[in-house]
Amino acid sequence: MAVPDLALPMPRSRADCETLDAADPLAALRALYELPPGVVYLDGNSLGPLPRSTADRLAKAVRDDWGRDLIRSWNTAGWIDLPQRLGAKIASIVGARPDEVVVADSTSINLFKLLSAALRMRPGRQVIVSETGNFPTDLYIAQGLIAQLGGRHELRLVDRSAVETAIDTDTAVVMLTQVDYRTGSRLDLAALTARAHAAGALMLWDLAHSAGAFEVDLNGAGADLAVGCGYKYLNGGPGAPAFLYVARAHQPAFEQPLSGWMGHASPFAFDTVYRPASGIGRFLCGTPPVLSMVALEAGVDAVLASGPLGGLAALRAKSLALTDLFVALVEARCAGHGLALVTPRPRPQRGSQVSFTLPDGDQGYAVVQALIERGVIGDFRSPDVLRFGFAPSYLRFADVWDAVEHLRDVLATRAWNQPRFLRRQAVT
């Protein structure tokens, strides 16, 4: 396997990595997270770690706001404004205006809202274009919507490389996840948005593996719609609420079917007829989950704390250095065991993760389990992907070194070949 050029001098030892860490301008950010000793956490793309401020902020929200002030906290603690206030913070992370993002529900639910609204905006067009490898829930939601609308629409699924040519004048909306959850391949958000627009289609981005990991410029790309996840690089905690983005120009005309009372123009007037709020608030539905939002806000604030240190551009630079290093070290030190890189080598095409395959999926699963037992936490994605996320806020170059050494050892000693690492049936 060819070792790619590193942007940094190739470290030859753990000491070299420690030197890089000592020079890392973002090193101070690690202290914002609670990371268990002895763990190299390469799964922040699945569940971000606990920010150090979360427990206290949540305890305050529970004991003071809920426990002491009770119902009054909807006003006095600003609970009622949380979806918009938190949305505005996330807007600054994804290149949107403050009034273009709101926090609500789950990514799946938000996709349903936006796809519904998009199809109404393009009534003469019947096609949703996406890719076969998109995250399943995105496809399932499109399928559920199409069934509900009577089957008059088509979900056109093509290979990632064929998306551009699949977009045509029947296309109502193009729905893509910018970073592939399996491979870490990253799409050109601006170019694909322009391609969708050239065909008269709307562009809906899923930023699950983008938001908080690197710079996203929704406004700059002229993107119409987006959703994103609160519990990955935004560190909002397990099942944290999601966010959605609707470009300001679309908001007045966009209507969506999940028209709950929190999206009403005047929810406390208790009218019998739904009248959507004027702005992004119309994409709210039920009562906001306050405790989960308080936790999410702590996670978002931890990302925003990178601002004085260079912000998302600096995070991206470090992320690329970490993933460059991981690829180089794995290919140099773990050769001969069948690992094949499936993450694109060109930097612009890479998200913040690195994935390898092993020919035998059961072996791949077992290798990941053996690593987890040693404290190197990545994950496995069927059928054959070993996935390692590199969140630049808290990972060190020395962590990369350690992870690779464990991987090398697990492969070289066949430590993965133990009954306890056998693949079990997936949870249903």
- Residues acting as catalytic residues: 135, 206, 231-232, 387
Residue 292 interacts with its own copies (CB under 8 A)?
yes
User: Of 3-11, 60-68, 191-199, 312-320, which part binds its own copies (CB under 8 A)?
Assistant: 60-68
User: Of 135-143, 159-167, 213-221, 332-340, which part binds its own copies (CB under 8 A)?
Assistant: 135-143
Taking the complex as a whole, the smallest distance from the CB of residue 10 to its own copies amounts, in Å, to 30
Taking the complex as a whole, the smallest distance from the CB of residue 308 to its own copies amounts, in Å, to 26
Q: How far apart are CA 298 and CA 293, in angstroms?
A: 9
Q: Closer to its own copies by CB, 261 or 408: give it.
A: 261
Residue 158 interacts with its own copies (CB under 8 A)?
no
Burial group, residue 230, by CB count within 10 angstroms (0-12, 13-18, 19+): buried
Among 158, 258, 304, 309, binds its own copies (CB under 8 A): 258
Residues 307-346: x where in contact with its own copies by CB under 8 A, - otherwise, as a string: ----------------------------------------
Residue labelled with tokens 């296309």: 171
Residue 291 interacts with its own copies (CB under 8 A)?
yes
Q: How far apart are CA 365 and CA 372, in angstroms?
A: 11
User: Of 13-21, 190-198, 216-224, 266-274, which part binds its own copies (CB under 8 A)?
Assistant: 266-274
Site for its own copies in 408-427 (CB under 8 A): 426-427
124 CB-near residues (< 8 Å, 6+ apart): none
φ/ψ of residue 117, rounded to 5: -65, -40
User: Of 7-15, 39-47, 357-365, 405-413, which part binds its own copies (CB under 8 A)?
Assistant: 39-47
Amino acid at 239: G
Burial group, residue 364, by CB count within 10 angstroms (0-12, 13-18, 19+): buried
- Assign 87 to helix, strand or coil: helix
Site for its own copies in 74-93 (CB under 8 A): 74-75, 79-80
Q: Closer to its own copies by CB, 68 or 414: give it.
A: 68
Instruction: Return the number of other C-beta atoms located less than 10 Å from residue 371's C-beta.
Output: 26
Q: Closer to its own copies by CB, 137 or 349: give it.
A: 137
Q: How far apart are CA 359 and CA 416, in angstroms?
A: 15
DSSP 232: S
- Percentage helix, strand, coil for the chain under 3-state DSSP, each rounded to 5: 45, 15, 40
Q: Closer to its own copies by CB, 296 or 334: give it.
A: 296
User: Of 4-12, 285-293, 309-317, 331-339, which part binds its own copies (CB under 8 A)?
Assistant: 285-293
Among 286, 335, 340, 413, binds its own copies (CB under 8 A): 286
Site for its own copies in 356-395 (CB under 8 A): 372, 377, 379, 381-382
For CA atoms 107, 111, 113, 117, the dihedral sign is positive
Taking the complex as a whole, the smallest distance from the CB of residue 6 to its own copies amounts, in Å, to 29
Among 285, 315, 330, 376, binds its own copies (CB under 8 A): 285
111 CB-near residues (< 8 Å, 6+ apart): 137, 138, 141, 142, 175, 204, 206, 227
27 CB-near residues (< 8 Å, 6+ apart): 21, 396
Taking the complex as a whole, the smallest distance from the CB of residue 294 to its own copies amounts, in Å, to 9
Longest Cα separation, the chain: 69
Site for its own copies in 236-255 (CB under 8 A): 237-242, 255
Instruction: Return the number of other C-beta atoms located less than 10 Å from residue 203's C-beta.
Output: 26
Q: How far apart are CA 311 and CA 304, in angstroms?
A: 7
Residue 67 interacts with its own copies (CB under 8 A)?
yes
Site for its own copies in 166-225 (CB under 8 A): none
Residue 277 interacts with its own copies (CB under 8 A)?
yes
Taking the complex as a whole, the smallest distance from the CB of residue 370 to its own copies amounts, in Å, to 14
The answer to whether the beta carbons of residues 331 and 1 sit under 8 Å apart is yes
User: Of 128-136, 312-320, 322-330, 403-411, which part binds its own copies (CB under 8 A)?
Assistant: 128-136
Residue labelled with tokens 């019947």: 126
Q: How far apart are CA 300 and CA 5, in angstroms?
A: 33
